[in-house]
């Protein structure tokens, strides 16, 4: 393995991976820190009523494991794919917000992040900077 200055390609993929991780981390932490907010999100966007604190902590725990594997570059096929799938579901569940864009402009930020997740899935073999799987 050659150690040295990372290429622009490697650095770009690393920046995408860590920035997607930061967003996903805060969405995950919300389930532990502010479960009332998370329950409202689940009810409004996923039609899951009465999402109790225990349910949200289980979902949050699973998400935390997935995103930690993702940011570490571990089991890329699965972790990158699951992060993409989670964000795809989140993006598509917000479909009504895109039909009324002016009060919902922040929802459109989901699309470039979805593109970043897809790029990481497609280029996972090249994403080796600070990754446990080279």
- On the question of pLDDT at 62 being above 80, the answer is yes
pLDDT tens digits for 39-48? 999 999 998 8
3-class SS letters over 20-41? HHHHHHHHHHHHHHCHHHHHHH
Are residues 131 and 69 in contact, defined by beta-carbon separation less than 8 angstroms? no
State if pTM tops 0.85: yes
What stretch of H or E contains 34? none
- On the question of pLDDT at 4 being above 90, the answer is no
C-alpha to C-alpha distance for 8 and 74, rounded to whole angstroms: 21
What is the share, in percent, of the chain residues with pLDDT greater than 90?
Answer: 91
Q: Of 15-29, 34-48, 57-71, 104-118, give the lowest mean pLDDT range.
A: 34-48
- On the question of pLDDT at 1 being above 80, the answer is no
Q: Is 76 exposed, middle or buried (0-12, 13-18, 19+ CB in 10 A)?
A: buried
- On the question of pLDDT at 67 being above 80, the answer is yes
- On the question of pLDDT at 21 being above 70, the answer is yes
Domain ranges of the chain: 8-126
Question: 75 is written with which tokens?
Answer: 């089991």
pLDDT of residue 51: 85
pLDDT tens digits for 87-128? 999 999 999 999 999 999 999 999 999 999 999 999 999 999
Are residues 127 and 76 in contact, defined by beta-carbon separation less than 8 angstroms? yes
Q: Which of 62, 46, 20, 22 is nearest to 38 (CA)?
A: 46
């Amino acid at each position: 393995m050659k150690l040295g200055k990372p290429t622009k390609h490697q650095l770009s993929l690393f920046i995408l991976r860590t920035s997607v991780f930061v967003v996903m981390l805060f969405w995950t932490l919300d389930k532990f820190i502010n479960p009332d907010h998370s329950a409202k999100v689940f009810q409004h966007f996923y039609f899951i009523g009465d999402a109790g604190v225990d349910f949200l902590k289980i979902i949050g725990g699973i998400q935390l494991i997935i995103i930690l594997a993702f940011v570490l570059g571990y089991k890329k096929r699965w972790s990158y794919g699951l992060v993409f799938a989670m964000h795809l579901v989140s993006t598509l569940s917000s479909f009504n917000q895109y039909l009324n864009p002016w009060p919902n402009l922040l929802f459109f930020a989901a699309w470039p992040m979805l593109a970043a997740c897809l790029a990481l899935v497609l280029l996972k073999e090249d994403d080796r900077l600070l990754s446990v799987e080279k």
